[in-house]
Chains A and B, each alone.
Chain A
Amino acid sequence: MSVDVLTPTLSDNWDQPDAWKIANYVARGGYEAARKAVGMDPDAIIGLVKDSGLRGRGGAGFPTGVKWSFIPQANPNPKYLVINCDESEPGTCKDVPMLMATPHTLVEGVIISSFAVRAHHAFIYVRGEVLHVIRRLQKAVADAYEAGYLGKGIFGTDYDLDVVVHAGAGAYICGEETALLDSLEGRRGQPRLRPPFPAVAGLYASPTVVNNAESIASVPAIVAKGAAWYKTMGTEKSAGSTLYSVSGHVKRPGQYEAPLGTTYRTLLDLAGGIRAGHQLKFFTPGGSSTPILTPDQLDVKLDYEGVAAAGSILGTKALQTFDETVSVVRTTLRWTEFYKHESCGKCTPCREGSWWLVQTLRNIEQGKGQEGDVEKMLDLCDNVSMKSFCTLADGFVANITSSIKYFREEFEAGYHTPAWELFPYEKSVYFPYERERITVSEGAGE
């Protein structure tokens, strides 16, 4: 398989020197799509994005143009565009490199999208831990203001647009769109009850579009080259080009921009295959909250429908790759510990379920599991699944149940044998490794 499969659109300029600088971005035709858009009928832009088949790249895959058309324009309140760039999912790493390489692509997308939904304020909510990205984005926004692309009467029109880059404070849950809105308003980030949906009463109880950074960054190219062009990429229901983030035990981890529907087999080839001397054991299609897949699913089309048919979720297209040295018990525990730490605490099943499952998984990892623990975990997962307030808990449950589905014997081995004896941890790492001391202490001091 050759590199012909790649379709650099978002990543088109990543290999250019100083691609993040406004002059270099403009020199390659940057902001022309925005200039064109602000001369268009906003509804025509929404129609164009609908026609392009662009779907949300944050995981749910909701058609972006349709979401924009839900904004009740008769509502007298201001309209807001909010960009979700709180990229925090283990394994997911597409927005951060994109914004490091080409922040102006997002800013241009924000201009077009805001104009389309008649918003005069847009907020970019960036994960607080990635300070370098925040700085680069702030600089890009400042440069765009200076160039007259943001602010009063942009591109010489009478359209005003202000953009605020907002840093999160380090909570995974703030990637959930309504928790993000609460956080943006200065409140504790917890998901909101729906309805009302953000399109009706979102930020400051006003109509709000919340879109993933990659979705919005895809818009300038669609405006520039047209919906038909965009649909030449991808599959019938999953159009366009997207960033696949391949990580783990591959030779060349990184971002691979390819049409939706590309198989993992192709992406693995592009990444140089599994590291020498090892074989693929399992992978996640879209970050740690999507059910794991196995080598049997190498030829699943990685688009929204294909992955769903294989029993998982496309998610953020974060392909975490694990070879045969890896203990599934260990990955499941680590992931579940992450979700336990990030559970916002609002609803019972997520808060208490993650607390309990971590303890059971720890026992299994240490070979101290008890007969029946696997069945108990599956039952607990059933008590959590679909009953939590938001999908955070569904994510960790899916992870546990899929891991047990494919590798049940590894969990049952935890009734008598520590995971590190079955899968010596040092074999799965690239660097000298010493197993951490595992302590089981829970309490306020944790």
Chain B
Amino acid sequence: MSTDVKKSDAQVAKADLVTATIDGIEVHVPKGTLVIRAAERLGIEIPRFCDHELLDPVAACRQCIVEVPDAGNGRPMKPQPACALGVMPGMVVETAATNEKVAKHQRGMLEFLLINHPLDCPICDKGGECPLQNQALSHGDGESRYEGVKRTFPKPVNISAQILIDRERCVLCQRCTRFGEQISGDDFISLSERGALSQISIYASRPYESYFSGNITQICPVGALTSVDYRFQARPFDLVSTTTTCEHCASGCELRTDHRHFQVKRRLAGDDPEVNEQWNCDKGRYGFCYGRQSDRLTHPLVRRDGKLVPASWPEAIDAAVVGLKAAGSEVGVLTGGRLTLENAFAYSKFARTVLGTNSIDFRARPYGADEAGFLASEVTAKPMDVTFTDLEQAGTVVLVGFEPEDESPAVFLRLRKGNLKNRTKVLAVAPFLSNGSKKMGATLVPTAPGDEVKALEEIASELEAGTILLVGERASLVPGLLSKVRQYAAKGVRWAWIPRRAGELAALEAGCLPQLLPGGRPVNDARARVDLQAAWGVAQLPDSAGLDAEGMLTAATSGSLKALVTAAVELSDLADPEAAKAALASDSVFVVSLEQRLSELAESADVVFPVALLEEQIGTFINWEHRARPVEIVNARAQSVMTDVRVLAALADALGTDLGMRTPPQARTAYLEISDWEGSTPKFTTAGAFGAAAGGDGVRLASWHLAVDDSRCLDGAETLRQSAPAPVARISAATATALGVHDGQQIAISTDAGQVVLPAAVTASMVDDVVWAPTNSGAELFRTLHAGPGDLVRLTVVKTAGGAA
């Protein structure tokens, strides 16, 4: 039964329902409901291939033909496809259940579909979960009368690095091409040739590069489209499926993860109509191999004589205890942005009750001075407000510091749907009209990074009650922008903060900020501390303001911070990776690192504890809507390493304090016990001044992470990486002319720290005197330039060996 019918039921008044009869049973549905959906409501199964509830009807496969003895006007119709026929009042429909003619049509159609379909089910990836196979059994004849010659094609053929097509198996339902047109907007596949030789093809000049291409393998009703990585890896009936949540961004898409022999074989988009509908991005689909790389940690490591060497758990815990005890309360905790609520809560409590510090921060990325205050005051412990469905139905959506297709792909899909179906107006406050923005039908509000406040003021007439403002994590880098967001919020503009990482909202709820305790309690509110002390059974919680992430690194450099506990922090994500590396490598800082894989940070740690992968534990993400997203154990091996919660509990025991939780479920219970706080909330005070960014020589840098880039979480997804967008440096035509470069020519983006060389992409919509480059595609921008979005950089032409400028 389809959910969209259920939902529209609630919205449609009874008077708008029409009554029709299908197989003699009356059904009441909203006018215009397709017969195939109305039949589903009655539990009447009509076979189909091209029909998909989230795609517009195409009526191509003709498998769902029904008879209509009465169209509602007393007159019969010729046989109709149920997938494209709207229910009319008084309509009478007969399916194969009651009409032998229909049953014959359906058998005949399946016979036609099978005459050119190879009998290779035993070696086909789809065999066992194939709609063609299933419906041939349920609605077809056992024997074919066809004795002729089958159509053959060379097979398989790559249509992209990660997708193969077996054209012989294709039933030409056009689900994949319609997905490209109607859902992702990447219509780089199309039918070519005609008749029985019709085939899904790619263009000679336009590669099929899409962040959403994996969806076409999932909606293909036969085994024509398959994933390179999954091909011949498993039989569907040998797989164990688990419904869980994706860890790659803050949208929290539902996933169906399939494993066999303790190894995840594939991930599919789950079906959550409120969140990701039935889609996900390729990062979520293919990015699951990072935990099986050679750098996966399975044993603790301890630094001896300057080198990390394997150690037993008691040995490593002892070493950590010695170091942490020596540091006293001059210790900090960096949790990264990727933890589940349960793990984040364990770190938060560990910092406060075991280490006795408020120096805790989840932000492993550049951020502005007023961000922590803003997040603590405006984002934490708020009820769900703006939802995916709201995005689809909003009149106007304004994006600032946020590039949905790269930074939260499910948001992109929903905005595009809103734009196509409901004419949602999308305004992108950005330096150029990105490809994603184009596909959402967005209008560019041309803005150099740093000038966003002014840009929002210029479109103030759009920012009225009813408008939705989506604020990305880069927004805090613009002085005064978050204050501006609060001003518009006060005017009735609805808004949401959408960070990139899956764990950031959960970290906020768990209190992973210096001024924030769990549940939105302010550290500087004695009542809040007392409340928590009582709940936790501790005599005293630290009341002095802790250090934030950058503060901790500075203090580590200066020697005033003696120890750091870190969880899954990538140095290259930080604003100045080299400085952070130097700070952590200093002998005066004792670093305890809890990691899934040996990272650059772990290499300079003093003790490294391995922790469980997400697929090995239970937990909760909180997505940008503030919706709890369950993480389930997919694949627990007997020898699985411990979760962050368990390791922290062991450390706490050794340090002489009970953490009060040893497993993620216990952490969740403990969190739920204290999450309800009705006292005061943190106050926001603006730290930055309004106004434009600093002037000076050079051009301003714009940058964000592409969804598919050099991120370590895509390690092992090599075919996906092959279809990643090629890195370029985008500049306007005027900037290019001033520089004397043409499209495609190599240019250098430089600061005193270093330079990155990329081919210039002269971009029509680009703001002058700005250069955009991807943050981590081919080169690590922050590390090389020591500069981030809004900073000034220099552009120079790279002289080639041939002498051409």
Contacts and interface: CB of A to CB of B under 8 A. Distances in A.
B108 A389 contact: no
B197 A345 contact: yes
A351 B198 contact: yes
Interface string A150-178: 00000000000000000000010100000
B670 interface: no
B149 A353 contact: no
A360 B148 contact: yes
A359 B116 CA distance: 13
A350 to B, nearest CB: 8
A383 B198 contact: no
Given A383-B109, A386-B79, A387-B109, A351 B195 contact: yes
B152 A443 contact: yes
A346 B195 CA distance: 8
Residue picked from A343, A359, A383, most chain B C-beta under 10 Å: A383
A342 B151 CA distance: 16
Interface in A376-397: 376, 379-380, 382-384, 386-389
B327 interface: no
B148 A356 contact: yes
Interface in B132-161: 145-146, 148-154
Given A193-B58, A345-B197, A359 B148 contact: yes
Given A352-B116, A356-B148, A383-B105, A389 B59 contact: yes
B196 interface: yes
Contact of B112 (A342, A352, A441, A446): A352
Nearest to A346: B60
A380 B141 CA distance: 14
B703 interface: no
B194 A342 contact: yes
B69 to A, nearest CB: 14
Given A345-B197, A388-B62, A444 B115 contact: no
B764 interface: no
A443 B57 CA distance: 30
B57 A343 contact: no
Nearest to A343: B195
Interface string B157-192: 000000000010001101000000000000000110
B63 A355 contact: no
A355 B151 contact: yes
A55 interface: no
B112 A353 contact: yes
Contacts of B198: 344-346, 351
A349 B106 CA distance: 11
B145 A376 contact: yes
A351 B195 CA distance: 5
A444 B152 contact: yes
B62 A386 contact: no
A440 interface: yes
Interface residues of A, number: 39
B65 interface: yes
A345 B194 contact: yes
Contacts of A389: 59-60, 62
Contact of A444 (B104, B174, B194, B197): B197
A345 B146 contact: no
A446 B190 CA distance: 21
A409 interface: no
Contacts of A278: none
Contact of B61 (A188, A348, A359, A384): A348
A388 B194 CA distance: 15
Contacts of B150: 442
Contacts of A379: 108
A351 B109 CA distance: 11
Contacts of A342: 194-195
A383 B108 contact: yes
B113 interface: yes
Interface string B93-122: 000000000001100110111011000000
Contact of B115 (A352, A382, A440, A446): A352
B62 A349 contact: yes
A197 to B, nearest CB: 14
Contacts of B58: 193
Contacts of A334: none
Contacts of B149: 359, 440-443
Contact of A343 (B145, B146, B174, B196): B196
A340 interface: yes
Residue picked from A171, A193, A354, most chain B C-beta under 10 Å: A193
B78 interface: yes
Given A355-B196, A386-B78, A348 B154 contact: no
A351 B79 contact: no
Given A351-B196, A443-B152, A346 B172 contact: yes
Contacts of B151: 355, 442-444
A383 B115 CA distance: 14
A341 B195 contact: yes
A340 B149 CA distance: 14
A347 B113 CA distance: 10
A352 B193 CA distance: 15
A387 B79 contact: yes
Residue picked from A352, A355, A446, most chain B C-beta under 10 Å: A352
B84 interface: yes
B159 to A, nearest CB: 16
Nearest to B77: A386
A243 to B, nearest CB: 30
Residue picked from B63, B115, B153, B190, most chain A C-beta under 10 Å: B115
Contact of B196 (A173, A352, A382): A352
A188 to B, nearest CB: 6
Contact of B195 (A355, A359, A386, A443): A355
B57 A387 contact: no
A349 B148 contact: no
Given A383-B105, A444-B153, A348 B194 contact: no
Residue picked from A344, A349, A351, A446, most chain B C-beta under 10 Å: A351
A354 B525 CA distance: 80
Nearest to B86: A195
Contacts of A347: 59-62
Contacts of A440: 149
A131 B190 CA distance: 29
A348 B62 contact: yes
A398 to B, nearest CB: 14
B84 to A, nearest CB: 6
Nearest to A352: B112
Contacts of B195: 340-345, 351, 354-355
A345 B196 contact: yes
Interface string A179-192: 00000000010100
A193 B84 contact: yes
A342 B197 CA distance: 11
A335 to B, nearest CB: 15
Nearest to B105: A387
Contacts of A386: 78-79
B770 to A, nearest CB: 35
A153 B149 CA distance: 60
A348 B191 CA distance: 15
- A-B interface, 6 closest residue pairs, ranked by CB to CB distance from nearest: A383-B108, A345-B198, A352-B112, A359-B148, A343-B195, A442-B149
Interface of B: 57-63, 65, 78-79, 84, 104-105, 108-109, 111-113, 115-116, 145-146, 148-154, 167, 171-172, 174, 190-191, 193-198
13 contacts: A190-B191, A340-B195, A342-B194, A345-B191, A345-B195, A347-B60, A348-B61, A348-B63, A351-B172, A352-B115, A355-B151, A379-B108, A387-B109
Interface of A: 171, 173, 188, 190, 193, 340-349, 351-356, 359-360, 376, 379-380, 382-384, 386-389, 440-444, 446
Given A348-B112, A356-B112, 17 more contacts: A171-B194, A190-B191, A343-B196, A345-B193, A345-B198, A348-B113, A349-B62, A355-B151, A355-B196, A356-B146, A379-B108, A383-B108, A386-B79, A387-B109, A442-B150, A443-B149, A444-B197
